[in-house]
Structure 1
Amino acid sequence: MGNTILHVAAHYGRAHFAAEVLKITPALLWHQSKKNETVLHIAANEGHIEVVHLLLSIEEHYKEKLMRITYENGDTALHKAVRSRHQDVARLLVKEDPEFEFPSNKAQETPLYLAAESDLCEALVEILNSCKQPTSSAGPLNRTPLHAAVIQEHTDCARLLMQWNKSLCEEPDAGNSLHFAALLGVKEVVSDMLGWKKSLAYLPAGSENDWTTATYVAASAGKVDVLHELLNHCPDCWEMLDSNGRNALHEAILYSQANVVSYLLKPTKWDKLIEDPDNDGNTPLHLLASSNFWGYVPLELKDHPRAKKMSYDKENKTPPDVAMSCTEWTADKDRIAPSLYHNFFISIAQLG
């Protein structure tokens, strides 16, 4: 392993013993194991703040150099402290070397990214406030610390990052942070982002030929509160289409989100959604006919006056035709509800 007696003392938090060892052999302060791990790495990882204080005081003029030595995976002592959730040690390390940019390790994780991902608000504040040149915002898979905070649903960290740098809201990954907040139902973050810049709601997520927006992400995930927030800030979002020409009602039916169907069809202002075709000519009813959604069809859909049971898709099929073809190609009929086909026609007969 290449560990010295000083490494062992640091691991167990024996600050007094470590001080005595360093009086005899101060060079051990710089000794690295086979994995390039220093005594400071170990003390930071274990959260032994007294040992960290000691190590940084031994070579005052060289403490920055000691703090910047990287482990085999590129971690500095600050990475270690944050990853192990030792906020007191992390705050100390940042204060001791505020000039350092704290770059990413080999996995592209910066201490800032790790703090956001782990919901370590105190460490996050220290990094943002103490560093004259705050760490790079890029992270793994080109995700920002804001992506990390939102994906983990750490609302307080997300808000801190937005206050620090609002432009992080616009940084894409597979989508911007608003798309992740919509997917996970982090309503407070969605509200804050849209309060800063409403146009975020219109930005696409995905590839050039396969993209969606936050409205459809929320609809497909069944996040009615987020959908309400989006439509409240951007009332015309309901008219938008994704790359397949689908509206929010298409998405809700495609993903069997009955609560979203009810929400969209209760007010009459969004009635048009029920008759809009997608790029293949499928209305929401066509998608409904080909799904397993018939176990529960909201009354708002069954009884809707604008639901047309005889509209044709590009294959010249009506919703009943689609339902019939589904029963024909489903080899294992016992694996779907036996009354699916029957229920469809009972329900479709009720449509206008």
Structure 2
Amino acid sequence: MVILIQPTIPFFEGNGYDTWSVKMMTLFISEDLWELVDKGYVEEEIPRDAIRDVRKNDAKALFFIQQAISESIFPQISKATKSKEAWDTLQTKYQSTSLVAAQDGDGSQTDIPVMDDSVYEAAAKGDIEVLRKIPESEFHAQLSPKHNTILHIASEFGNIECVNWILDLPSSSSLLQRPNLNEDTPLHLAAREGHLMVVEALINAAREPTLDIETGPGPHKVMLRMKNKRKDTALHEAVRYRNYWVVMLLIKEDPDFIYGANDSGITPLYMAVEGGFTAEVKLIIENSSTPSYNGLMGRNALHAAVICNNKEMTKMILEWKPDLTKEVDKNGWSPLHHAAERGDLEIVKLLLEKSEKSVAYLRSKEGKKTALHIASFHHHTKIVEEILSHSPGCREQVDDEGNNVFHFAMMKQVDHDFKPSKYFDKEWLKARGLVNEKNAQGNTPIHLLSLNQILDFWFVYKLKVVDKKAYNNEDLTAYDIILRAKEDISGKKVRLPYNFSYMFIGKC
């Protein structure tokens, strides 16, 4: 029999807003309601089949807020119909005061100036004797221009003795999750700078049962999962600046959390792959239960490894999650599309080895191009051969203009080392059908050879393979196109590449 434990709701009577708001935030996160409270929702953007659940969850969050405040405060939010509206009202009313004022003994408010430079320097250099002179009641009000607390500054500069001294203060718990103007917590700053001992001290301090929440993740995990304005967690920051040991500690503390994307759409794993941080990639894959792997433009971590031409990471990711070969980015490109474009044969082989046959048939959103088309366009003949040996049926695919693998081979100029006739030696490209197939304009590959003035005598000389008498939609043969190209619309002669027209003499 499972006994459900109801969370204890923190109570707010007008004083100590910062501490209360941190406790409430933890409560909302534990109930999976924080996104609604923090960001709200627009009904028109919610799918019809999900709107009922969203409304129900938002009402639950609003009820928590209503239950958490005194009768004297309740009228301020009584007209709020959504949790975000109520939350923002209380934040505007009470946080603005607590950030710039300290409570006097008689209950009045006294403005506190921006943190004195001597205090700032003491926190940065770890001068505890200077900090001892500050009344503990002012520690929350002492703020830098970016609203960094003394704990923020000590953490950023890595002064572990100073950090430990602050954490021993009775009121330190509310500083742990206190965000600055960028919504960075002290943990964000310590992780960014790579101060391992400070990170460990902050986590251990948050691990203490100072927040009265009996369900959901513990306070230290809540802190680990907090995001700043860029939606970065502390792990994002540690990975971005390649702080390996901090990355290891953060993952060890919360291995089951799915670290999602920041506001750029990048997850810690994708960030590590894109940065070429092989050790960090291995660490995340092997120690996280289900790490998210998304990145820019709808790409995944395998896309990033391929784009960076990193064979080691490509192999590592394929061993971990081979199904990523089937995922496409927002342009409809699979990792194989990118590998075909970049021309790394070894990476293509790795992808095909772990791919289902269907991956070679995936087509891009724009132009409906396959990886085979892209490899052919860039004249990567070895990759063309490799793809065909894996999925020979994709030879028949055409793009949205009816261009096949031979057409694409004729589209790119200024590549004098490539001859389209090399395709005649490939097992799956010998048949006459492909080389004489017409696209939407009625052009066969030899028409494009003429249009793009590609010198390849052997392609033209293949009398029994290439149909040089084929007409396109303008009733032109490939030789007609050459004759037309010899003069422009003003009648002036146009100089063609040396011996270009002679390829067709006696052949057309």
Interval of TM-score (by shorter of Structure 1 and Structure 2)? 0.7 to 0.9
Q: Calculate percent identity across the aligned residue pairs.
A: 31
Superposed displacement of residue 225, structure 1: 2.7
Question: What does 1:1-352 correspond to in 2, within 5 Å?
Answer: 1-24=146-169, 26=172, 27-61=174-208, 62-132=219-289, 134-173=290-329, 174-196=332-354, 197-207=356-366, 210-256=367-413, 259=418, 261-267=420-426, 270-271=429-430, 272=432, 273-291=434-452, 293-294=453-454, 297-305=455-463, 306-329=465-488, 339-340=495-496, 343-349=499-505, 351=507
Residues 52 and 318 of structure 1, relative CA distance in 2, 3 Å threshold: same
TM superposition shift of 1:60:
2.1
Q: Does the C-alpha gap of structure 1 residues 39 and 319 become closer, same or farther in structure 2, counting only changes over 3 Å?
A: same
The alpha-carbon distance between structure 1 residues 140 and 270, as it changes in their structure 2 partners (threshold 3 A), is closer
Are the counterparts in 2 of residues 81 and 87 from structure 1 also a CA contact under 8 Å? yes
Q: Which structure dedicates a bigger proportion of its chain to helix?
A: 1
Q: Determine if contact 1:94/1:127 at 8 Å carries over to the other structure.
A: yes
Q: Distance in 2 between matches of 1:128 and 1:217?
A: 31
Q: Amino acid of the residue matched to residue 55 of structure 1?
A: L
Query: Whole-Å Cα distance in 2 between the matches of residues 130 and 232 of structure 1?
Result: 37
8 A Cα contact 2:486 2:495, kept in partner: no
Gapped regions of structure 1 (runs ≥ 5): none
Residues of 1 paired with 2:429 and 2:444: CA distance?
14
**Secondary structure, counterpart of 1:340 in structure 2:** coil
Name whichever of 59-68 and 23-32 sits farther off.
23-32
CA–CA separation in structure 2 for the residues paired with 1:230 and 1:127? 31
Distance 1:168-1:265 versus aligned 2 partners, 3 A rule: same
> Contact between 2:360 and 2:370, CA under 8 Å: does it hold in 1?
yes
Q: CA deviation at 1:82?
A: 1.3
Shift of 1:2: 1.1
CA contact (8 A) 1:240 1:247 kept: yes
**Distance change >3 Å, CA 47–CA 345, structure 1 → 2:** same
Of the structure 1 ranges 197-206 and 312-321, higher mean CA displacement relative to structure 2 is found in 197-206
Quote how far apart the aligned CAs of 1:350 are. 6.5
Report how many residues are paired: 343
CA distance in 1, matches of 2:193, 2:486: 61
CA distance, structure 1, for counterparts of residue 497 and residue 375 of structure 2: 29
Amino acid at match of 2:360: A
Q: Secondary structure at the match of 2:365?
A: strand
Shift of 1:89: 1.7
Deviation at 1:351, TM superposition (A): 4.6
Residues 307 and 351 of structure 1 are in contact (CA less than 8 Å); yes or no, is this contact kept in structure 2?
no
Q: Quick one: structure 1 residues 23 and 231, their matched pair in 2 at CA, closer, same or farther if it must change by over 3 Å?
A: same
- Describe the shift of the 1:225–1:87 C-alpha distance in structure 2 as closer, same or farther (beyond 3 A): farther
Unaligned runs of 5+ in 2: 1-145, 209-218
RMSD: 2.7
Partner Cα separation in structure 1 for residue 462 and residue 193 of structure 2? 62
Q: Structure 1 residues 345, 41: closer, same or farther in 2, change over 3 A?
A: same
The superposition leaves residues 54-74 of structure 1 with CA deviations (integer Å, 9 ceiling, x where unpaired) of 222222243212111111011
Evaluate the alpha carbon distance shift between residue 331 and residue 229 of structure 1 in structure 2; reply closer, same or farther with a 3 A threshold. farther
Residues of 2 paired with 1:201 and 1:12: CA distance? Answer: 51
